[in-house]
Each structure stands twice: as structure tokens, then as C-alpha cells.
Structure 1
Amino acid sequence: MKVKEVANYLESLAPLSSQESYDNSGLIAGNPDVEITGVLVSLDCTEEIVQEAIDKKCNLIISHHPIVFKGLKRLTGKNYVERTVIKAIQNNICLYAIHTNLDNYQNGVNKKIGDLIGINKTEILSPANDVLQKLIVFTPKDAAESVKNAIFSAGGGNIGNYSECSFNSDGLGTYKGNENSNPAYGEKGSRHQEEEIKIEVLISNHISSQVVRSMLAAHPYEEVAYDLVPLNNQNKFEGSGMVGELEHPMDEKEFLALLKNTFKTGCIRHTALFNKPIKKVAWCGGSGSFLLKNAIRSEADIFITGDFKYHEFFDAEDKIIIADIGHYESEQFTIDLIADMIRKKFSTFALYLTEENTNPVNYY
């Protein structure tokens, strides 16, 4: 099993194109064609994590947070980032990160948090925009099924819990091939009329190329007429944060105690309580203060995340409870999530969850 095979699988679930612009997910260091001896999964990538990989004979570290966010102009070992990368390269260890693309994945970091809290029916808090396209292709009637099957097999036509979604309409196509043509129907030099079907399917941007390639390979025409139309629709199955409802309302302090115990946090920084039950919950793993307005707009009773600054707590404006449980605390179970994703697909190499606690924040 090669590194690129695991990377390709993870990116088929959480594509790199869905990461935020500031992020650096994907293979950061190492040869994608190297055979895997073992995989170590961690939240962060540090010198201690690399040493743990060495001790466990793992040559691939998959972390949630990238060790390199910005470009490195030199590698002299002057800081922990450079030292970590140098140590990995010296020991032939590949570094891979799956960060905000996993945050934005419907079954990713935030779904894991919702499961731990006990919320089953969840929705994306801030759905992604400009990530969908419509593929429109015209095909002769007798080839329509094979073309549709090719599109579907490449991932086209998926909408939430439904697959193989398409709209089909009948029409009459015309064409006239020149002396260099080789028409599948009709004769060159003569205008031909063909009963065709117009097939329309929804596709995600990140699979656009592979869907088109698959469609073209199955299409009988020498020159295929098709359109790719960018859509401004929100994709409610991809985006930041989540919101949902508890099965039974909970007292505010009882709910905060649940959070403290579940996420093993030293403390929870929160705004004033309202002395009313909590039913609707919004949350975002890691640093989610940018979603506060979305949480308020969703009419959630509480918003759970990490890294709120002092002045940002005022932005709640007595409309919602902010509960800052800590960055590491909110994302620590991402390690289990990544490991579960890999186990469902691969069983040919040793897989370890880190034993290192990389949280740089301590509580006294």
C-alpha cells in the first residue's frame, strides 16, 4: 500500500479543494509512491510525534493540523516547525494533514462532536457557496443509459442521501461532419438529425474533471456537446460548523457539565446563562468565533467552540450562550475519526493513534 493510495482515499471524502484558502492540507513532506510501513494518527505534528512514529516504525504521520501553514524559506532548525520537518525527512517519514477540508466534510470533525454531545439530526451551520456545477450533455437515445452510468460511476448526480440523480429531456440534434469527420451516426458531408436526450446532473467542483472524462469515454460521438455551468447554490452538505437539537432539553449547568466531562476540559469560558433549558445547539471544532452570527441566526441556545477572544464574548449580545471549551479539547477526538475513516478502507498496514498529548495549553 502506497502513501498516495491512502491520500487519494481521504481526499475522495474530504477533497483538498474544500479546504480554506489559508490552509495547507495534503501531503506536506515525503514521497507519495513510497510503500507504507505503518501509520500514526495525531491532532498535531511535533518533534515528539515524529519520534513516536520512529519508535513505532511508522513512515506516515496523518495529522489534523498541518505542521507547515506558510512557506518555509529555509530549513535550519531554528524553530519547532523546521526541526519537525527536518526530523521527518531525515527518517523518511511522510507528513500528511487533513485539516479544514475535514472540518467542512459533512461526516467530519463537527459530525464527530455532534455524536459525542448526543445530537443525531445535524445540519451544516454555514453551507459552502460556489462549490457545485451542473453538467449538461446531449447524447443519442440508445447511448443515454451508458453515458448516465459513466457519469454516476464517477460521482456525478449525488445529492445528499440520494445518488444517480438526473433530469432527462428529449430533443432533436443536428450536425454535419466535414471530410475529416468520422460520425457515429449519419454520413460525413450530409446534415444528420438524431433523436437525442439532454442529461442534466449536479456535480461537485472537485470531481468535475473525472466526471467529464468518464462521460466522454462512454459517449459515442466524435465531438461531444456538453456544458459545465457554475452554480451559486449553497451546498448544504459541505461547509463550516453544525447545528442540531438535543433529543431532550437540558438545564444549562447540566449541559455545561456534560461538555466539561465529555471533552475533558480544565474549564469552560462562557457568557451569562439565561436560566432556561438548552434545546438547540450550534458548534464548531477548533476556532469558530467567525460563525457566531450564523449560530445566532440559527436561533441556537448555545454555541460551542474554542479560541474566543475577550471582546468577542460581547458579540453574543444576550442572544446566545457562548461556551469556549478550548481548541484542543474540541478537536481531540478527530484522531479517532481519522483512524475510523482509514480502517473502513484499509487493513494492510499497522495503524496507531498517538499516545502524545500535544495540547500546548495547561490549566492550574
Structure 2
Amino acid sequence: MKTAEIYTILDEIAPFSDAEPWDNCGILVDNKDFDSITLTLDLDEKILESSENNTLFITHHPLIFKGLKALSSTKYPSSLVFELAKKNCSLIAMHTNYDKHALNDFVLSEVLGIKEYEKNGFICEFIWNSSFDELAKKVKNAFEIKHLRVVKSSENVEKVAFCTGSGADLIGSFKADCFLTGDLKYHTAFEARHDKLSLIDIEHYASEKYFAQSLEKALKKYGISAKIANSLNPFSYM
């Protein structure tokens, strides 16, 4: 199968034209033809080494994100680009376009178990009408997070906003009592506490590790099979 053919299908699932202007979605490495597909949140050394030649990798996070001013076979990410070329592999990234059209919905409904919600761009909003502690417990169990970082601004929560990955920049674009997202920073927490907005950090990796599972389900509707690879979480916990 040709890379251009699968790109057309992916564009139907989540149009690449809907990616954010700063993003780098689409075909990043193209060897024209491929024999198999591997889906993964990120491409790392272990996944690439264990894969067959002529593999098409479809990732959530773009391997090539910022402009590369030089190519080195020993420095990330160009070292992986060299290896992709050696193995005649291709790479497509589906990032903010997939967040908007599929990933946020999949994680909220299939992982967190929230079936009724409203969608506005990246943000999903749902009614909770219960205690903050009960919501935190549900999130902690669903995402299997051992130590949950929170900002508890009130005892009870009526309306919740949700976004996988890193959504702190979206604060102010919605009205809610609590926001679930990842990569929350110290000063963001201070501001939210002052503004009576509770926060639950669902972690970047923990909230987006379902990308491959989500896309595999979507591709099956087109009769396309794919392998799932579990990419490395760069953080470890002690």
C-alpha cells in the first residue's frame, strides 16, 4: 500500500487541515510504499529497532516538530530519521487534528466512562454534580495514576472541562468548576486556585497513551489492520 493512500484515509478520520498552525502533522518521512502499519503515541528507539523494514509508523506526537537546522546520526530526533531511512520506513503524525476529532472523545467516553458531554474544539465539557474527591478518585483509578496532583478549590463540582495532553493554555476559554488536563505548572495552579477553578493533572502520557487503541478502532472500519506499540514514558516514578 502507498503512503499517499493511507494518508487519504487518515484525512477522512481527522482532517489534517484542522491541525493547529504551530503543529507539524502529516507525512514526515515518506518511502512511498509500506508492508505493515504500527501505531504508537511516540516513536522511540526500541520500537524502531524491533520493527520490520518497510513499516509505516503512525504516531500522535510529531517526531519532527521544530525546524531541524542540522542532521546528526547521534542526536534526537534526527538519529531516528536516519534509522527510518535505513529501514525504508515511513512516518505520519496525527496530532492536534486527531485531538479535536477523535482522541479527546475516545478517552473521555471509553476510559473515563463519560458518555454525555458537549464538545467545543479541544474541550469536552460534562456535568458531574458531586464531590471533588469522588471525581479525583474516578480519574485516579481510570488513568491508573498512583499519585494524583490536584488543586482543590471547592468541595463540590458541578461542571467539568476535559482535554488530553497539555491543555493549560485553554484555561479562560471555557466556564467550569474543574479542569482535567496534563502538564499543569506551578503558576497555573496558583492562578486557578485564586480564580476558584479546581484542577486535576491527568498527566500527558497517561491521558494520551490510548492514541493507538483509538486509531486502530477507526482504521478497522476501513478494513485496515495495524499493530499497536507501547511507546516509552520518559518519566519514571520512585
Q: Do these two structures clear the TM 0.5 threshold for a shared fold by scoring above it?
A: yes
Q: 1:51 aligns with which of 33, 36, 49?
A: 49
Could you tell me how far 1:318 is from its partner in structure 2? Answer: 4.5
CA contact (8 A) 2:43 2:231 kept: no
Superposed counterparts of 1:24-103, under 5 Å: 24-32=24-32, 34=33, 36-54=34-52, 59-103=55-99
Q: What amino acid is the match of 2:202?
A: I
Q: 1:245 aligns with which of 127, 138, 141?
A: 127
Superposed counterparts of 1:106-145, under 5 Å: 108-115=102-109, 116-125=111-120
Equivalent position SS for 2:199: strand
Q: 2:188 aligns with which of 296, 303, 312?
A: 312
Task: Give the whole-Å Cα distance in 2 for the aligned partners of 1:274 and 1:6.
Answer: 47
CA contact (8 A) 1:43 1:335 kept: yes
Which TM-score applies when normalising by structure 1?
0.61
Could you tell me how far 1:97 is from its partner in structure 2? Answer: 0.4
Equivalent position SS for 2:171: helix
- The one-character-per-residue Cα deviations of 1:280-339 (angstroms, maximum 9, x if unpaired) are 2211111100111123xx2x2210001111001112124221111211111111121111
Structure with more of its chain in strand, by fraction: 1
Structure 1 ranges of 4+ moved more than 6 A:
none
Task: Give the whole-Å Cα distance in 1 for the aligned partners of 2:152 and 2:207.
Answer: 21
Q: Does 1:334 pair with 2:211?
A: yes
CA contact (8 A) 2:180 2:201 kept: yes
- The one-character-per-residue Cα deviations of 1:168-224 (angstroms, maximum 9, x if unpaired) are xxxxxxxxxxxxxxxxxxxxxxxxxxxxxxxxxxxxxxxxxxxxxxxxxxxxxxxxx
Equivalent position SS for 1:282: strand
The number of aligned residues is 236
Q: Which runs of 5+ in 2 are unaligned?
A: none
Q: CA RMSD in A?
A: 1.7
**Alignment-derived partner of residue 189 in structure 1:** none
Could you tell me how far 1:58 is from its partner in structure 2? Answer: 5.7
Q: Which runs of 5+ in 1 are unaligned?
A: 126-238
Superposed counterparts of 1:222-237, under 5 Å: none
The higher radius of gyration belongs to: 1
Q: Percent identity?
A: 33
CA contact (8 A) 1:47 1:83 kept: no
- The one-character-per-residue Cα deviations of 1:219-257 (angstroms, maximum 9, x if unpaired) are xxxxxxxxxxxxxxxxxxxx22211224xx443222212
Which TM-score applies when normalising by structure 2?
0.92
